Amino acid sequence: MRAVRPVRTRRVRPVMATEQPGRVSAEVALEELYAAHWRSLVRLSVLLVRDQGTAEEVVQDAYVALYRRWDRLRDHGQALAYLRQSVVNGSRSVLRRRGTAQRWLAREAGSVPRLEVATDPADANARRSAVLDAMAGLPERQREVLALRYYLDLSEAEIAEALGIAAGTVKSHASRGAEALRAALGPQLEELS
Amino acid sequence: MTDDPTADARLRRLLNDAVSDVEPRDALQEIRADIRDTSGTQRSSHLIPLTKETTMASARQSNGSWTYALSGALLAAAVIAAVFLLVGNPLSDPDDTDTPVAGDTGNGRDKPDKPGKNDPSPAPTQDPSTEAGSEEVGAVYYVGITPGGPKLYREFQSANGADDLARALTLLQRNPLDPDYMPTWPEGSLADASYDGDVIRVSITDPEYRSIPQGLDQPIAQAAVESVIYTLQGAVQDRAPVQFMLDGNPVDQVFGVPTSEPLANGGVLETLNHVSITEPVQASTHSGELTISGVGNSFEANLTWKLVSSDGETVRDGFATAEGWMEEKLFPWEATVDLSGLEPGSYTLLVQTDDPSGGAEGNGPDVDTKDFRVE
A159 touches chain B (CB under 8 A): no
Q: What does the pLDDT look like over B304-328, one tens digit per residue?
A: 999 999 888 999 999 999 999 888 9
Peptide bond into A139 cis (omega under 30): no
Question: Of residues B87 and B230, which shows the higher confidence score?
Answer: B230
Contact A101 B183 (CB under 8 A): yes
Q: What does the pLDDT look like over B348-362, one tens digit per residue?
A: 999 999 877 776 677
Whole-angstrom distance, CA of residue A31 vs CA of residue A168: 36
Is B17 strand, coil or helix? helix
How far is A134 from chain B, CA to nearest CA, in Å?
Answer: 11
Mean pLDDT of B123-146: 68
- In percent, the amount of chain A with pLDDT more than 90 equals 38
Contact B214 A11 (CB under 8 A): no
Q: What does the pLDDT look like over A98-147, one tens digit per residue?
A: 656 666 665 565 433 333 333 455 577 888 888 888 888 888 899 999 99
In this prediction, residue A123 carries a pLDDT of 75
HEC readout, chain A: CCCCCCCCCCCCCCCCHHHCHHHHHHHHHHHHHHHHHHHHHHHHHHHHHCCHHHHHHHHHHHHHHHHHHHHHCCCHHHHHHHHHHHHHHHHHHHHHHCCCHHHHHHHHCCCCCHHHHHHCCCCHHHHHHHHHHHHHCCCHHHHHHHHHHHHCCCCHHHHHHHHCCCHHHHHHHHHHHHHHHHHHCHHHHHHHC
A10 touches chain B (CB under 8 A): yes
Q: Kindly tell me the sign of the dihedral angle through the C-alpha atoms of B348, A110, A56, A81.
A: positive
Mean pLDDT of B233-262: 95
Alpha-carbon distances, residue B123 vs B68, B88, B93 (angstroms): 32, 16, 20
Q: What does the pLDDT look like over B50-102, one tens digit per residue?
A: 233 333 333 333 332 222 223 333 333 333 333 333 333 333 333 333 333 22
Band of pLDDT at residue A193, cut at 50, 70 and 90: low
Whole-angstrom distance, CA of residue B338 vs CA of residue A72: 72
How far is A72 from chain B, CA to nearest CA, in Å?
Answer: 15
- In percent, the amount of chain B with pLDDT more than 90 equals 53
Q: b/e for B141-168, b at 16 or more Cβ within 10 A? A: bbbbbbeeebbbbbbbbbbebebbbbbb
Chain B environment of A147 (Cβ under 8 Å)? 15
Minimal-distance CA residue of chain A relative to B255: A97
In this prediction, residue A99 carries a pLDDT of 58
Contact A56 B27 (CB under 8 A): yes
In this prediction, residue A68 carries a pLDDT of 86
Contact A127 B16 (CB under 8 A): no
Whole-angstrom distance, CA of residue B269 vs CA of residue B305: 20
The ipTM of this complex is 0.78
Decide the pairing of beta strands B200-204 and B242-246: parallel
Contact (Cβ atoms closer than 8 angstroms) between residue B265 and residue B252: no
Whole-angstrom distance, CA of residue B90 vs CA of residue A45: 47
Chain B environment of A171 (Cβ under 8 Å)? 1
Residue B154, beta-bridge partner list: B141
Chain A environment of B19 (Cβ under 8 Å)? 43-44, 46-47, 128, 151
Contact (Cβ atoms closer than 8 angstroms) between residue B301 and residue B331: yes
Whole-angstrom distance, CA of residue A176 vs CA of residue B246: 38
Q: Which of A91, A97, A102, A127 to mutate to test the interface with B (most CBs of B within 10 A)?
A: A97
Nearest to B214 among A13, A27, A94 (CB): A94
Chain B environment of A27 (Cβ under 8 Å)? 32, 35
Minimal-distance CA residue of chain A relative to B185: A100
**Longest CA–CA separation in chain A, Å:** 62
Nearest to A54 among B14, B214, B220 (CB): B214
Whole-angstrom distance, CA of residue A105 vs CA of residue B85: 29
How far is A131 from chain B, CA to nearest CA, in Å?
Answer: 6
Nearest to B213 among A10, A97, A132 (CB): A97
Q: What angle do CA B276, B278, B280 make, to 5 degrees?
A: 120
Contact A56 B24 (CB under 8 A): yes
A161 touches chain B (CB under 8 A): no
**Nearest residue to B223 via CA among B140, B329, B330, B144:** B144
Minimal-distance CA residue of chain A relative to B187: A100
Whole-angstrom distance, CA of residue A190 vs CA of residue A182: 10
Residue B268 has pLDDT above 60, yes or no: yes
Q: What does the pLDDT look like over A79-101, one tens digit per residue?
A: 899 999 999 999 988 777 665 66
Mean pLDDT of B183-203: 94
A133 touches chain B (CB under 8 A): no
Contact B11 A182 (CB under 8 A): yes
Residue B164 has pLDDT above 50, yes or no: yes
**Nearest residue to B266 via CA among B305, B210, B223, B310:** B223
DSSP alpha helices (H): ranges in B22-81?
28-39, 52-57, 72-81
Whole-angstrom distance, CA of residue B10 vs CA of residue B21: 18
Q: What does the pLDDT look like over A32-58, one tens digit per residue?
A: 999 999 999 999 999 998 888 889 999
Residue A17 has pLDDT above 80, yes or no: no
Is B24 strand, coil or helix? coil
Q: Which of A10, A46, A142, A190 to mutate to test the interface with B (most CBs of B within 10 A)?
A: A10
Chain B environment of A182 (Cβ under 8 Å)? 7, 11
Band of pLDDT at residue B132, cut at 50, 70 and 90: low
A108 touches chain B (CB under 8 A): yes
Mean pLDDT of A66-75: 82
What letter does residue B213 receive in the DSSP assignment? Answer: P
How far is B206 from chain A, CA to nearest CA, in Å?
Answer: 10
Question: Of residues A168 and B40, which shows the higher confidence score?
Answer: A168
The amino acid at B322: A
In this prediction, residue A188 carries a pLDDT of 76
In this prediction, residue A24 carries a pLDDT of 59
Q: Which residues 54-93 in chain A show a CB within 8 A of chain B?
A: 54-57, 59-60, 63-64, 67-68, 93
Mean pLDDT of B176-196: 91
